[in-house]
């Protein structure tokens, strides 16, 4: 009698544990695994099991590496933009106060470069835009890049957290204007031409607050899939976004090299963005298709 009771009791406890796990998993509050990082296929089966595969929350973070194959130099490493310049001289509010000519010259050169005909979106930008257009997912693309290549590729939901170089901002009103010309301390205000020198490139400098942080943090907290592409993960707050994604979020890093955050990702893919981004997104699409057919 005593043994039967114990057996029955254990069975009940196990059933309760299983019910608890399934309910929690369904509500995506709990994701327990002793498995090593899951390949994307099984991740999507997991998502189906949790009933949310049809509308995933996809968050993408891009850095200079995604535009490198479009001919735009990255910041760090050999031939990187910061190799020839000290950040403090050209990318801080103090630098702009003390030597606006130098700061304008630095960004004018980069703006002219962006406007060259051969600077075009590459296969990685295009794959992201196509993925967004062809899926019902809740999709947000955060970019640290100040180039316009995600927009040119057709991406819709883009948040340029470090601003846009093809825009100028009034230092007094914060009004933003599309801008394709050189800027100088003498540039007339577009609305009141008698006023001069109040325009700056609409880029975020060190010591300033990136755009959209609240939206970014909320998207990170809710992400099912977080994809970081071509970023060295050394500049915060962008580098810390991965840490804000939930435990059950699949975190994938695509980069030529290892970064200080690589170990936080569930999958790291080493290779050029133009090859690996389209390949990865095809894999996601295939997994979704297979899962939906089951
Ligand atoms: P970085 O120049 O720091 O890093 C570029 C990353 O891209 C490196 O990790 C490279 O390994 C990788 N990479 C290069 N070519 C690649 C390719 N073809 N395919 C895949 N990966 C590639 O640029 P960011 O991480 O974007 O901020 O830099 C972050 C911020 O630091 C920038 O937004 C800028 C800079 O200072 C400001 O100016 C405020």
190-217 pLDDT, tens per residue?
999 999 999 999 999 999 999 999 999 9
Residue 91: CB within 6 Å of ligand 1?
yes
Distance CA 86, CA 88 (A): 5
* 196 and 216 belong to one structural domain: no
* 104 and 233 belong to one structural domain: no
Residue 146: CB within 6 Å of ligand 1?
no
- Domain boundary residue among 203, 225, 260? 203
In-domain check, residue 129:
yes
* 61 and 125 belong to one structural domain: yes
Pocket residue to mutate for ligand 1, from 63, 66, 253, most atoms within 8 A of Cβ:
63
Distance CA 167, CA 190 (A): 12
Q: Are 271 and 33 in contact (CB under 8 A)?
A: no
In-domain check, residue 268:
yes
Q: Which atom of ligand 1 is nearest to the CA of 124?
A: 19
Predicted local confidence at residue 293, as pLDDT:
65
In-domain check, residue 143:
yes
Give all strands (DSSP E) within 68-204, no chain letters: 138-143, 158-160, 163-170, 176-178, 199-203
- Of all residues in the chain, the percent with pLDDT exceeding 90 is 71
Per-residue pLDDT of 153-186, as tens digits, reads: 999 999 999 999 999 999 999 999 999 999 999 9
Give residues with Cβ within 8 angstroms of 63, minimum separation 6: 74, 143, 144, 145, 228, 229, 230, 231, 232, 238
CA dihedral 197, 198, 202, 206 (to 10 degrees): 90
Predicted local confidence at residue 88, as pLDDT:
80
- pLDDT bracket for residue 137 (50, 70, 90): confident
Q: How far is the CA of 76 from the centre of ligand 1 (A)?
A: 7
Residue 231: CB within 6 Å of ligand 1?
yes
163 Ramachandran zone, left/alpha/beta (phi>0; psi -120 to 50): left
* 173 and 284 belong to one structural domain: no
For ligand 1, atom 23, which residue shows the shortest CA distance? Answer: 64
Distance CA 154, CA 167 (A): 18
Q: How far apart are the first and last CA of the chain?
A: 45
* 266 and 235 belong to one structural domain: yes
In-domain check, residue 2:
no
Predicted local confidence at residue 246, as pLDDT:
97
* 98 and 175 belong to one structural domain: yes
Whether the per-residue pLDDT at 21 is higher than 80: the answer is: no
Q: Are 266 and 251 in contact (CB under 8 A)?
A: yes
In-domain check, residue 8:
no
User: Which residues pair with residue 151 across a beta bridge?
Assistant: none
In-domain check, residue 32:
no
> Is 162 a residue of the active site?
yes
Give the residue-averaged pLDDT of 283-294.
76
Q: Which domain holds residue 177?
A: 73-118+166-203
Question: Domain total for the chain?
Answer: 2
Q: Are 125 and 155 in contact (CB under 8 A)?
A: yes
- 113, 125, 162, 294: the active-site residue: 162
The mean of the pLDDT values for the chain is: 86
* 194 and 287 belong to one structural domain: no
CA dihedral 45, 47, 52, 58 (to 10 degrees): -120
What is the CATH classification number for the domain harbouring 253? Answer: 3.40.50.1220
For ligand 1, atom 35, which residue shows the shortest CA distance? Answer: 75
Structure tokens at 190: 């577009």
Q: How far is the CA of 230 from the centre of ligand 1 (A)?
A: 6
- Domain boundary residue among 149, 179, 203? 203
Give the residue-averaged pLDDT of 111-134.
97
Predicted local confidence at residue 54, as pLDDT:
57
Q: Are 180 and 111 in contact (CB under 8 A)?
A: yes
Residue 68: CB within 6 Å of ligand 1?
yes
Q: How far is the CA of 93 from the centre of ligand 1 (A)?
A: 22
SS3 (DSSP) at 90: helix
In-domain check, residue 26:
no
Q: How far is the CA of 137 from the centre of ligand 1 (A)?
A: 26
Predicted local confidence at residue 19, as pLDDT:
45
User: Which residues pair with residue 200 across a beta bridge?
Assistant: 169
In-domain check, residue 6:
no
Count of C-beta atoms within a 10 Å radius of residue 265: 22
* 95 and 130 belong to one structural domain: no
Q: How far is the CA of 255 from the centre of ligand 1 (A)?
A: 9
């Amino acid at each position: 009698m005593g043994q039967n009771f114990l057996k029955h009791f254990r069975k009940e406890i196990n059933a309760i544990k299983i019910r608890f796990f399934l309910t929690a998993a369904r509500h995506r509050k709990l994701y327990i695994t002793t498995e090593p990082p899951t390949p994307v296929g099984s991740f999507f089966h997991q998502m189906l099991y949790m009933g949310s595969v049809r509308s995933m929350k996809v968050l993408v973070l891009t850095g200079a590496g995604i535009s490198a194959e479009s001919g735009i130099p990255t910041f760090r490493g050999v031939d990187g933009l910061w190799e020839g310049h000290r950040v403090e001289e050209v990318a801080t509010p103090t630098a702009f106060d003390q030597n606006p000519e130098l700061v304008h010259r630095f960004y004018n050169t980069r703006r002219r470069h962006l406007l060259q005909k051969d600077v075009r979106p590459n296969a990685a930008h295009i794959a992201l835009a196509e993925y967004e257009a062809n899926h019902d997912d809740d999709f947000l693309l955060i970019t640290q890049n100040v180039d316009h290549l995600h927009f040119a590729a057709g991406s819709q939901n883009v948040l340029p957290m470090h601003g846009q170089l093809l825009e100028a901002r009034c230092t007094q009103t914060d009004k933003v204007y599309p801008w394709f010309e050189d800027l100088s301390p003498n540039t007339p205000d577009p609305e009141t031409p008698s006023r001069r020198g109040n325009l700056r490139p609409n880029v975020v400098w060190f010591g300033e607050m990136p755009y959209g942080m609240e939206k970014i943090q909320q998207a990170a907290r809710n992400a099912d899939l977080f994809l970081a592409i071509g970023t060295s993960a050394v500049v915060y707050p962008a580098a810390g976004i991965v840490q804000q994604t939930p435990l059950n979020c699949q975190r994938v890093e695509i980069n030529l090299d290892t970064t200080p955050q690589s170990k936080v990702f569930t999958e790291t893919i080493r290779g050029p963005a133009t090859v690996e981004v389209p390949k990865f997104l095809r894999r996601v699409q295939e997994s979704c298709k297979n899962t939906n057919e089951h």
